[in-house]
Amino acid sequence: MSGLLSGRLAFVTGAGSGIGRVTSQLLARDGATVVAVDRNLDAANATIEALNTKNDHIALEMDVSSSDSISKVLRAVTEKYKRPPTIVVNSAGITRDNFILKMPEADFDAVVNVNLKGTWLVLQQFGKAMVEHNSGGSMVNVSSIVARSGNMGQSNYSPSKAGVEAMTKVVAREFGRYNVRVNAVVPGFIETPMTETVPQKVKDMVIMQCALRRFGKPEEIAEVISFLASDRSSYINGTSIEVTGG
Ligand code: NAP
């Protein structure tokens, strides 16, 4: 299959749902071979089964908050494809919302461990493999607009995503000399399983504050990720692109 990402091996975390799933679809549409990982293997398998291209895509179970789990998957991927990916998308993420006065410390740790440390672990291990293989590449992290605006009930999630943006800038500086670019997308409110449980009252407020007066679709984030993954964005590095509807 020919396309913008033809011949590229793409690695997507959180690929069993929402933005990660649709990103896997669009990267495959654009010609990449996709390794879809999620802590829920059945969900990652369902993502791969729905891809209708002939490339040799696979689904694997991986927990981004576990260094061991990531090394195991990296080994399996390089053994299978004889090279590391040149596209890495960090989409795995969780919320555990509550007011700070009610939030158990464990919910702070869980969110930071997945969203912030998980991104760091994947950047470190996959970045090392990319640097050693010397083939360049593009890494895309998923932050959130609440990293910039703050949001009631998210004293764990908002700072974890602000950290992802800061980390993106640092690692872009460190990997630039190896021709590995690192950028972030900053979504607004996107219709995925993550936002299904948000109370209607809050949804109405979000819509009123959005210039386009609607929620985003995962496709609208995935298109930007595919652009950042491709050579069409070859001089974009160490930055974040807001995709919020204004
Ligand atoms: P989603 O539908 O819940 O998908 C996230 C996926 O990541 C789920 O399959 C989830 O599995 C998986 N996951 C969670 N923890 C993991 C771990 N430790 N290791 C591997 N996989 C893990 O959410 P989404 O809306 O697509 O979110 C994707 C990314 O976009 C997240 O980083 C999120 O913070 C960010 N984001 C979303 C929005 C939005 O409005 N939807 C806005 C801004 C940013 P489980 O289902 O088992 O948890």
- Domain-located, residue 111: yes
Residue 6's pLDDT is 97
Residue 34, Cα to own-chain centre: how many angstroms?
14
**How far is ligand 1, taken at its centre, from the CA of residue 173, in Å?**
26
- Assigned domain for 41 exists: yes
pTM: 0.98
State yes or no: pLDDT of 1 exceeds 70: no
The backbone torsions φ and ψ at residue 34, rounded to the nearest 5 degrees and listed phi first, read -110, 130
Q: How many structural domains is the chain composed of? A: 1
Residue 1 in any domain: the answer is no
Segments forming the whole domain that contains residue 215: 9-243
Task: Quick: pLDDT tens for 136-180.
Answer: 999 999 999 999 999 999 999 999 999 999 999 999 999 999 999
Distance between CA 181 and CA 184 in Å, rounded? 10
Give the mutation target among 91, 112, 240 for probing the ligand 1 site: most ligand atoms within 8 A of CB: 91
- Say how far residue 210 (Cα) sits from the centre of its chain: 23
pLDDT score for 241 = 98
Catalytic site includes residue 157: yes
Residue 215: per-residue pLDDT? 98
In a domain, residue 45? The reply is yes
Flag whether 3 is in a domain: no
Q: Is 87 contained in some domain?
A: yes
Pick from 162, 164, 222, 167: nearest CA to 190: 222
CB neighbours (10 Å) of residue 101? 6
Q: Is there a domain that residue 26 lies in? A: yes
Within a domain: residue 2? no
Q: What CATH number does the domain containing 94 carry?
A: 3.40.50.720
